[in-house]
Each structure stands twice: as C-alpha cells, then as structure tokens.
Amino acid sequence: MDKTYKSKRVVLWLGLVLIAALTILSIYGAFVGAARARSFFNSVPLILYWFVFLIVLVLGIGVFPRLVRTPSLLLIHAGCVVVLVGSMWASHRGHAIRNELLGTDKIPQGSMQIYEGGSEKHVVLDGTGEIKELPFSIRLKDFGIEYYQPGYLIVQSRNGKTWRIPAKVGTRLQLAPDLMTVEIVRKFENFKITLEQGKHQVIDQPGGGSNPALEIRVDHSSGSAATRYVFERFAGHPHPGDEFQFIYQRMAREYTSRVEVLRDGRVVAQKNIEVNHPLHYAGYHFYQNSYGSEAGWYTVLGVVSDRGLYIVYAGYAMLCVGVFWLLWFRELLSAKHRVTNR
C-alpha cells in the first residue's frame, strides 16, 4: 500500500468521522434550544473541532488531486472552507481578536431601544449587556403597526370547542341553537375608563398609548344579557359564572420603524425598517426586533455587524454552484450517465 493511498484513506476516514460527529452534535443542539446550542457551538472544544474540520478539508484538497482537477468538486470543498473561515471571521471571538489586534471597536451584535422622536447611539451588547457607542446615531421618526383586518374574537367553551367571529362592529353569531348569541358592539384602539360626574365611562382615547379591546354583548338562551370587554393584550380570565372564554386576536401584517441616520447632526440616510427589510449602514445591519408602548411608542432595533458576511455568502455561492454542477449537470443530466451506470 503506497503512502499516498494511505494518507487518502486517513483523510477520508477523518472526514467521515467529523461529519458523523457534527451530525450528532447538530441533533444534540436541536434538543437544547438555540441559545444553549449557540454557546455550545462557540465553546472552546467546539472551536477546536471547527479548526480540525477546516484542516481536514484543506488536507483533503491537498491529497486528492481529483478535487483540484475537477472544478465542481473543488468549488464544493473550497466553498465549505470559505464558509467556515467567513463564520470564524464574523464570530464574536473573531470580532474581539480583530478589535484587539487592529485597535478597532466594532460591535458584533446587540440591540438599541429608541423612543418616537428621539435618537440613540448606544447599543446593548447581546450576552454581556455591555453598552457600546456607534459613531453615528439613529433617530426614530415614528413607529407603526399595520394589522390584518378585521381581527377575530375567539370564543372558547370549557369542553374545548372554539368559534372565530370577525371583529367587525355589528357582527352577531349564535354559537348553537341552545347557546348564547355574541355581538360585537364596539372596537377600541386605546381603551380607557374615565370618571365623569361620579360615573365610570368607557372611552377610546386617541394617541398616547395602545390598549386594543372589544365591547361585546352576550345574550344567553335564558333571556339574560351581559356586556363584556375583551382586551387584546390581557387575555381575559373567564368572568365568574361564564362558561366561555373570550379572546381578542389581531395579527400584525407589518411593523415599521421610520428612521434617519444622523452624523454630526446631519441626516445621512433614511429608511423604513421592517421585518425582512433591514437598514444597512456603515458596516452594520439594523433589524426590526421588537417594540413597546409603555410611556410612549418605542422600537427595539437589532444591530449586527456585517463583517465576514460576504465571505460566507461567497462560500455559499461556491458550494451551491459546485453541487449543482457536479450532481445535476455533470453527472445526472449528462448523456453518458443515462446509458452507463457506476
């Protein structure tokens, strides 16, 4: 057995063992959840694993001349190398090392909370909670949520039966011939109770907050009637004596943060940040992550560095082109392989 053949076998076996190990580790990662899996795959033993994987891939390209001679195979294996290198470059540790060596201060990943009309340049780092400053600030002009219309009133009986009633004023539904009738009487965007002349009054107060609710009238088959308020944010407990639970459900179509990027007091960029439409500016991506309306509307933007991203994408492109070239165009659809089988 010559030496080259032996080294090829060793590299192949090593590759197979590493692939099997990563398969098992991925399944383990799925069981522990994303947060723990992320820290597991970035732990020191796993960093060693990634380096060994990288070395075996490079060794494979070195000892198998076919991998170099066949462009599709080279693209696949080199693509994996590029993805691994790009991921290492983009990782939190990669950022830390480069910041240390090059004296830069790039934020790997964090979030920022901005109130409507306000601007912010501080980012809370994920994991550590450390606060860092961007070289520019983001101003939130306004934040809005667009909902699918009309929303639904969900009625659940104690035995698990469910009815969905479109939340349109005037809609009536008798749940069953011997059961009650439910009618949507009023819709509120911002439900409030005021005290006027010693009387409690329910009002829909425009602006300055959000408390979506429905007023419903329940006519029981016995002839009695009652008014109930159902809140979107505070899924109600059944009223004492009620046999049904009411839930007001609306589904968001879009969350939009209208922002401006300010540098030295000047607006240098504008964008409506939505889910799937992040802002890309100065090496960072800004994502619509969350929102809130306590003490006024605010948005929470995810801030992610774009370092290493295009290296990873280049690796993806190489891998994808290589796989299709090799398995579809070179082998599967070639005339040669239709008549002969290996």
Partner 1 sequence: MEIKYTTQGLLIYVAMAAYLAAFVMTLARLRKAGRHLYFSAFILACVALGYRGYVVRHVPMQNLFEVFLCMGALVYPISIFCRRVLRVSGVTADMLIGAIVLFPAGFAFSDQPQHLPPALQCWLFTPHVAVYVLAYVFMAKAAYQGLCQLADIKPRQNMLEPEQATYRMIRAGFPLLTLGLILGSIWGKIAWGDYWGWDPKESFSLASWLVYVGYFHFRYMFGKKHARLNSIWALLGLAVIIVTLFWVNLSQLFAGLHSYAT
Q: Which residues bind partner 1 (CB under 8 A)?
A: 9, 12, 15-16, 19-20, 22-23, 26-27, 29-31, 33-34, 37-38, 41, 87, 109, 148, 164, 251-255, 274-276, 278, 285, 287, 289, 302, 304, 309, 312-313, 316, 319-320, 323-324, 327-328, 331-333, 338, 341-342
Smallest separation, CB 19 to partner 1 (Å): 5
In sequence order, what DSSP letters do the residues of 143-188 get, joined into one string?
EEEEE-SS-EEEEEETTS-EEEEE--TT-EEESSTTS-EEEEEEEE
CB 63 within 8 A of CB 7: yes
Smallest separation, CB 299 to partner 1 (Å): 14
In sequence order, what DSSP letters do the residues of 239-280 get, joined into one string?
PTT-SEEEEEE--EEEEEEEEEEEETTEEEEEEEEETTB-EE
Q: Determine the residue type at 179.
A: L
Smallest separation, CB 148 to partner 1 (Å): 5
User: Closer to partner 1 at the Cβ: 213 or 312?
Assistant: 312
User: Closer to partner 1 at the Cβ: 202 or 309?
Assistant: 309
Smallest separation, CB 264 to partner 1 (Å): 27
Q: How far apart are CA 44 and CA 32, in angstroms?
A: 18
Smallest separation, CB 340 to partner 1 (Å): 10
Q: How far apart are CA 100 and CA 94, in angstroms?
A: 10
Which residues make beta-bridge pairs with 120? 138
Q: How far apart are CA 244 and CA 161, in angstroms?
A: 10
Rounded to 5, what percent of the chain is helix, strand, coil?
A: 35, 40, 25
CB 206 within 8 A of CB 192: no
User: Closer to partner 1 at the Cβ: 212 or 278?
Assistant: 278
User: Closer to partner 1 at the Cβ: 89 or 242?
Assistant: 89
User: Closer to partner 1 at the Cβ: 233 or 253?
Assistant: 253
Smallest separation, CB 174 to partner 1 (Å): 20
Smallest separation, CB 95 to partner 1 (Å): 14
User: Closer to partner 1 at the Cβ: 266 or 338?
Assistant: 338
Smallest separation, CB 161 to partner 1 (Å): 13
CB 95 within 8 A of CB 320: no
Tokens 């691994």 belong to residue: 84
User: Closer to partner 1 at the Cβ: 203 or 320?
Assistant: 320
Tokens 């035995």 belong to residue: 159
Residue-wise over 323-335: b if at least 16 C-beta within 10 A, else e?
Answer: eebbeeebeeeee
User: Closer to partner 1 at the Cβ: 74 or 185?
Assistant: 74
252: Cα separation from own chain's centroid: 15
Question: Going by DSSP bridges, is the β-strand pair 213-219/225-231 parallel, antiparallel, or unpaired?
Answer: antiparallel
CB 214 within 8 A of CB 204: no
CB 79 within 8 A of CB 85: no
Smallest separation, CB 9 to partner 1 (Å): 8
User: Closer to partner 1 at the Cβ: 231 or 325?
Assistant: 325
Containing 288, the helix (H) or strand (E) segment is strand 284-292
User: What single-letter DSSP state applies at residue 332?
Assistant: I
